[in-house]
Structure 1
């Protein structure tokens, strides 16, 4: 029997196809009306062991005006403006408001209460609009500009409690940042699962902070023990790293600024800038940039200064404008530092930097891995991104701590090798010294014989020298007696000549120009010879140390006025004397001080123009009398300033002016015998000022100065 296949007739098959299509369209329509294609279905097992990631279920739309309301974005045609987002929301440094849309539904056996977590915590404004079941929305505002104590769920991230129904509903989240880049990741938890995760989260940050505090204390101890400030710098770097980690994860608003939300954004930016300053200088120091290439060190110094300025601006209202520039500076310094470290390792073969380079590389690799985990979710195995971030920080600090300790280990090894080399050199030097001592001992024995002969020879020479000194002393005494006699014999004729010239000047013939000119020359020559004789006698007297000074109280103003009046011709008229009152009497040798002051006045008159004035000013300064003699000459050349007080020194610039080169020298010697001094206090093309200082001392203190 031949069996036919049980196919339905053609009419029946057509009817079945129509019924199947109608049923399919009905199902699709029901799904379209009841459960949108992008809705996330939550089951009873979700959100307990791990979060339900909303990445891939989000749609985004920018609001440049920042004025949209939830009623605007939830209605047509505004809904068509939403674009699907793959991975986390990355809006960068934008001031636009960003709207996110996602749809949620749950199975009947799943709980209705869920927690929506928003990361990171660096979000100025975050407002969730959840459907209320009556066509409206329930608004839940969060963000770091709101006090932490007002958060419905206390956590360092932003956590929104929401009610999810079995019917899919659209949720809208409005985000806005003024300063930091806008970045957002969303996930869902059941309350019980979130409690377990939160416990693990705070335990992880506690372990990280405990390890950091331990590292800080140990490195401060090492800094004190080893006297190496690098350990202190590393302790500061660890502290800044922990501060940066806690601020980026949102713990700053929870622990410190829970009631000051307006300061959170400024504090985050300030901590970031401070970390950049410390990290930049620490990296330049641990890799010895200044030693290998000074421009690299200067670049890192400039980056540190830039971040220091940004730190100051971060504490003001400008903190919202500097975020992008701080980010650019950090990226540039990191890239430059990485390239330069690679150059040190690969080109210069500086393998001692391999360990710190590995520390920075490990932190970077784990940071990149945490970003991949954040973007790809379960496709990348491993712990949650925030735990990876903390793990990377802890690993980076641990390896870097080993690198800092290795630096000290290498330094101690170098010191030990240096000591061993020094010890071997010391032993070798001792052997050489012993052989040298033996040789020198033999040489010394021969030298002792020669030395005794030399001592005998020198004794004979000493006797001859004493005899010569005795002869020289007697000769000097005879010379002194001769000079005194000649000087005394010159004084009388010179006085007669001066008196005759003065009488002739006062006679009728003195009114004639030719006679007046010649008598003036005679009197000036007589005065110059008289001063020369006085200077010679004073110089001779000063060099006889056995002759003491004849001290007596002297009124310096009266002495100075008497000297001014004693200058002949126009000298007394050109001298202008001023004195500050009161002036105490000083104990001096009157005759010597007259010579010293007369030399200073005569020197000022001689080197000043004939019609100019010479100012003599007396002033009491403490227990000393100060006398300034200021001329209006051409000044002392710079090359001669150091030598003008030398005996018999005459400058080439004044070679045409008569003089012996004794005046200034004797004035200083006399002043120093009295415990004072003569100095050139000012000189220029408009004149020079010499200062004579005489202290009021007793005879026992008037000793010559060395």
Structure 2
């Protein structure tokens, strides 16, 4: 697409640039003079009288350049070196009312009216610009100019050269508007395919620019409305205002002005309001066009200059599409400034500016389209990459879910298989009580009773674990409702220690900073947390080394810490050990499923606490638990 647009643009510029401008003769200051007046009722007899001739001023380079206004200008043209079958042409083609006055042999004046407000059937030849046939001899003629835009250049032609030049200009305009029609159709196709508002704005903007240019160059009157010239003039002014409004709307969206540059966005709103005023004046108050059009043109120059910093920031993104879009605005401004200044009357009328001004829209629009194409290609590539990443993430999530399901199934199977030996142990323990001797010695009875109680506590804990695994997501306590009640963490610690055998109890060294450590929580879950941490220390600490448990208060929290003398945790694994089903390589020869620490942290978080490693313990592993202290000690432990 980019190559096709570039090739087509180059062809248009080359062929359009080849249109010859030779063959006509211009007027010098000696041969051309002008008199302008607000009185539109002056007649030719008064203007041609000797007393009025002193009011005429030499016309610089034979060109009228007064911008927009409601004055009536009289041109006095002295014809010399008249070619055979001469024609007088006045450009540009949008001059509204022109009246040519030629002296008749009897001393009277012949008047012929022409201009963009006259139908094509009133023209001697169907030409783009206003043209009059002249008598083939030297003479002085007067031209009355009544037009909104008072910029004009008279040119003297021979009939053959004028017709040839008109045909060349039609070819040039055909190429230009064929190219612009291609741009319009591309924007229309983009809107119909995507149904996005920004493409609708672009379609409207390019269409309005094409309509304005088509009417300005006289093509609308010549080809579309030959007998309704007022409609062609309306297309000119309405197209200008609509192009400004839709262009502001589109570029404000494209450059994201409302979000990133609110001040510039407000200026664009003012420019759009000026365009709307031009449309309203064209429809309901044509007299006001002399004021609304200059305001609109000045706004285009000033506001577009103020937008250049935005384009510079867009250029610095280092994306080829963004850079071409950033180049569009300064390119459009640079190519159109001469034509804008000419229409405003700040520079003398130049036919080459008028001729090539219509080409000024083509390079910027081409840059815009190529930039948009490259941006869309980049966005499509990013979309495909995002879809690929999403697919990869979905596949990874599926694999992780399958792994979790397998782990959950394994845990369910283990829970199911534990149920039978637990029942056998429970039945055997009850049978042992029944089969005991009637009167054993007191020491033997005490030992047996102690062992039976230990077996019962172990059974109770295994049954509690199975219940949690079955009812709350297999070791996931996130949905297990907390049964909060006042507790004493120190008392929970002592009860958890009592459930260990005597040899294990002797290894623990309990230190407390007070008689009570009050908190609120679920005693079963907190007991499970403490037992997991104790069993973890017994499992990994070096044999016969002490295990320290400290319980103390710190501000509004209770700190529970257990420290052992073991291999510790390898650097970088401090968080990995709390993940579900995660076991470190150096502990793979120890029994376990990798659930204890994960479950302990989940219980701590549920109680508004934190569980982590103490990095300052130098001998092995030290787990530190922070839990919120009860608000009122006495009430909490009542």
SS in 2 for 1:391: coil
Q: What corresponds to 2:335 in structure 1?
A: 366
Give yes or no for the alignment of 1:355 onto 2:330: no
CA shift digits 1:304-356 (9 cap, x unpaired): 3553354244222x122144224313422542233224234159935554312
Of stretches 319-328 and 422-431 in structure 1, the one that deviates more from structure 2 is 422-431
CA shift digits 1:381-429 (9 cap, x unpaired): xx94444123223333322221222231232132133234435545655
Give yes or no for the alignment of 1:141 onto 2:113: yes
Q: What corresponds to 2:294 in structure 1?
A: 327
Contact kept, 8 Å, 2:304 with 2:333, in 1: the verdict is: no
1:364-403 matches, cutoff 5 A: 364-368=333-337, 384-403=352-371
Name which one, 1 or 2, has greater alpha-carbon Rg: 1
Q: Aligned in 2, Cα 1:421/1:54: closer, same or farther, shift over 3 Å?
A: farther
Q: What corresponds to 1:701 in structure 2?
A: none
Q: What corresponds to 1:315 in structure 2?
A: 283
SS in 2 for 1:152: coil
2:88 to 116, 127, 145: 116
Q: What corresponds to 1:470 in structure 2?
A: none
Q: What corresponds to 1:218 in structure 2?
A: 186
Q: Aligned in 2, Cα 1:48/1:263: closer, same or farther, shift over 3 Å?
A: closer
Contact kept, 8 Å, 2:335 with 2:360, in 1: the verdict is: yes
Give yes or no for the alignment of 1:154 onto 2:122: no
SS in 2 for 1:115: strand
Give yes or no for the alignment of 1:81 onto 2:81: no
RMSD of the TM alignment (CA)?
Answer: 3.8
Query: Aligned residue pairs: how many?
Result: 402
Contact kept, 8 Å, 1:118 with 1:184, in 2: the verdict is: yes
Q: Aligned in 2, Cα 1:390/1:309: closer, same or farther, shift over 3 Å?
A: closer
For residues 340 and 428 of structure 1, the distance between their equivalents in structure 2, rounded to whole angstroms, comes to 47
Q: What corresponds to 2:71 in structure 1?
A: 96
Q: What corresponds to 1:647 in structure 2?
A: none
Contact kept, 8 Å, 1:48 with 1:190, in 2: the verdict is: no
Of stretches 431-440 and 251-260 in structure 1, the one that deviates more from structure 2 is 431-440
For residues 432 and 144 of structure 1, the distance between their equivalents in structure 2, rounded to whole angstroms, comes to 77
Unaligned runs of at least 5 residues, structure 2: 1-19, 421-462, 469-638
Q: What corresponds to 2:307 in structure 1?
A: 340
Unaligned runs of at least 5 residues, structure 1: 1-46, 459-706
Q: Aligned in 2, Cα 1:250/1:440: closer, same or farther, shift over 3 Å?
A: same
For residues 217 and 333 of structure 2, the distance between their equivalents in structure 1, rounded to whole angstroms, comes to 18
For residues 305 and 373 of structure 1, the distance between their equivalents in structure 2, rounded to whole angstroms, comes to 23
Contact kept, 8 Å, 1:366 with 1:388, in 2: the verdict is: no
The answer to which structure, 1 or 2, has the higher relative contact order (CA under 8 A, 6+ apart) is 2
Q: Aligned in 2, Cα 1:117/1:364: closer, same or farther, shift over 3 Å?
A: farther
Contact kept, 8 Å, 2:212 with 2:237, in 1: the verdict is: no
Contact kept, 8 Å, 2:202 with 2:247, in 1: the verdict is: no
Q: Which runs of 4+ in 1 moved over 6 A?
A: 370-377, 454-458
1:128 to 74, 77, 100: 100
For residues 104 and 284 of structure 1, the distance between their equivalents in structure 2, rounded to whole angstroms, comes to 52
Q: What corresponds to 1:61 in structure 2?
A: 35
For residues 126 and 356 of structure 1, the distance between their equivalents in structure 2, rounded to whole angstroms, comes to 42
Q: What corresponds to 1:50 in structure 2?
A: 23
Of stretches 269-278 and 298-307 in structure 1, the one that deviates more from structure 2 is 298-307
For residues 54 and 366 of structure 1, the distance between their equivalents in structure 2, rounded to whole angstroms, comes to 28
2:246 to 278, 292, 310: 278
Contact kept, 8 Å, 1:62 with 1:97, in 2: the verdict is: yes
Measured after TM superposition, the shift of residue 98 of structure 1 is 0.8
Measured after TM superposition, the shift of residue 265 of structure 1 is 4.0
Q: Aligned in 2, Cα 1:198/1:451: closer, same or farther, shift over 3 Å?
A: farther
Contact kept, 8 Å, 1:53 with 1:188, in 2: the verdict is: yes
TM-score when scaled to structure 2? 0.55
Give yes or no for the alignment of 1:182 onto 2:156: no
For residues 135 and 467 of structure 2, the distance between their equivalents in structure 1, rounded to whole angstroms, comes to 121
Contact kept, 8 Å, 1:148 with 1:258, in 2: the verdict is: yes
1:230 to 178, 181, 198: 198
Give yes or no for the alignment of 1:173 onto 2:143: yes
Contact kept, 8 Å, 1:216 with 1:235, in 2: the verdict is: yes
For residues 116 and 91 of structure 2, the distance between their equivalents in structure 1, rounded to whole angstroms, comes to 12
For residues 160 and 396 of structure 2, the distance between their equivalents in structure 1, rounded to whole angstroms, comes to 78
For residues 251 and 257 of structure 1, the distance between their equivalents in structure 2, rounded to whole angstroms, comes to 9
Contact kept, 8 Å, 1:122 with 1:248, in 2: the verdict is: yes
Q: Aligned in 2, Cα 1:376/1:103: closer, same or farther, shift over 3 Å?
A: farther
Q: What corresponds to 1:693 in structure 2?
A: none
Q: Aligned in 2, Cα 1:417/1:455: closer, same or farther, shift over 3 Å?
A: closer
SS in 2 for 1:408: helix
